[in-house]
Structure 1
Amino acid sequence: MNEIKLGDVTITRIEETHGPIMPAGAFFPDLPEQAWRDHRDELVPDHLDDDGMVHVAMQTWLLRSAGRTILIDTVVGNDKDRPAVAPWHRQNIDYLGRLAAAGVHPGDVDLVVNTHLHVDHVGWNTRLADGNWVPTFPNATYLMPAADFHYWNPANNPRIEGGVNENAFADSIAPVHAAGQAQLWEGSHRIDAHLRLEAAPGHAPGHAVIVLESGGDRALFAADLLHTPLQLHAHDHASCFCEDPAQARTTRRRWLDWAADNRALMLPAHLSGRSALEITREGSGYAVAQWGPFDSY
């Protein structure tokens, strides 16, 4: 099962890829190796393999809410020059075919939400057409956090050159803005009666989460608050991709508290396996109360 309904909102999981991405020690350099061993039974095989490689998913959350078709994050994309990450370099994946199988064609999309502007959240913002990058979703407004839009602009941040985010602004962000389809926001932003965006900085300056409240149901589209269930136990440990690890820790704790207190379904951007979970407090940390209803990858 890849589709559920919470209140009046339908949620469909659209996969781009899933599998091993990098060694645990490189992904989480400050997280003790013993922690991976202590929780191995919870992590293997969906989130960690026997070679110590962390498994993640590249996926989009497709929402149908208040009469609109909404995409949360647009993963890596095709044909993009990504020299820092070989598996992402000039990908050729039938992502649009998977959207079509869910009943959505590019012209049907009303709203694209980029929770932040890291390379693996903006790729399908654009597609290559006659040698030019054009918005993939021609009728959509693209919500982008203003803080990230300015931070990841190479004119403001020269260190992007040679990093993981190299080329992403030029090929996946600037063309949308030039087309007049980007809407920059900050602080919080009400999407509709069921959905709102909230700033959740740390992983990136403009990193955000989406809160769903519809009927009696609650959900948190948690973006990159966590990349592995181990961060429920080791919630003070950030990934190597967090721009401000200290702020990321504070933000993670705030939203994990909210999810636990509201019995909300958490839907992180990259969690492999069943992709979604409900959490509970456990000692000074958290634990999985139950996994979400999606099939495991």
Structure 2
Amino acid sequence: MPKEKRGRALGIVSTAVALGGMTGPFAGGLIAEWFSWQWLFLVHVPVAVVATWMALRYIPAREQEYRSEPLDSVGAFLFIIVIGSVILGLTDGNTWGWRSTEIISIFSVALVALLGLLLWELHQKTPFLPIKALAIPAVSGGLIISCTSFVLANTVLVVMPFYLSGLSGISPLSVGFIMTAYPLLLAFAGPVAGHMSDRFSSRVFMFLGLCGMGVGLMVFSIGFGQLPLVWIILVMALMGMGMGFVASPNNSFIMQHAPKEHVGSIGGMIALTRNLGMVLGAALGLASKQFS
């Protein structure tokens, strides 16, 4: 996409993500209520087949310019160790206990591998990680914002279905409907914020989005368990709008400042910070549920 339309394009991507988010809780509630839980996993098979066909059919093939540079296999291996250890520790922290020997050992391995990765990458001509790009404040700051925003959102999104299903008279299907308040506003705000960020500063929308998510979390932290259902839906919608105002402008902001030769790597880092934020948010949400 042309640089001046990049924010709009990323807004459309956010809408696609939000539509998936809207469909997921509704479909999950419908399947859980009408069929067995095994269908929650089997339903992905035909979707994956159709998506694969669409990718082969509609994504245009074009000649790429390949550079004969050696792959930094040591850096790639250390990176896998770091990410794998962190994900494993965050996923099983609630099961094993955050102070258990297993969790401490896993995070110690991640820390040692991270230090080794950074020392190794600094001395490589073609490092696996885009060190030079990550040294740009706009890029590194944007990635931190990406991770933080998904931590904030997923902390609530993971806990909310458990809380709603515990209320009397609320079926799984109704829980799915209530949960769509978040992606519905995300689907609306994403393209708007993306389009406007092409004309105005992305920082304004990122600031407003983070403020909206912060207010939503503050309301939940003060009145969670006492809020009426309507207020829960409104706060979920506020957080969805906040995420819509953060995601598209922030991604556009990062890509605008990323060096051309590292655009692919930085795009992967955006996806990494998004998924890492979701895992961390889920871990925090389930931990808060366990201790409540």
Work out whether the TM-score is over 0.5. Answer: no
User: Rg bigger for which structure?
Assistant: 2
Instruction: Name the structure, 1 or 2, with higher relative contact order (CA <8 Å, separation 6+).
Output: 2
TM-score, L = length of structure 2: 0.23
Q: From the two aligned structures, give the one with the greater helix fraction.
A: 2
TM-score, L = length of structure 1: 0.22
Q: From the two aligned structures, give the one with the greater strand fraction.
A: 1
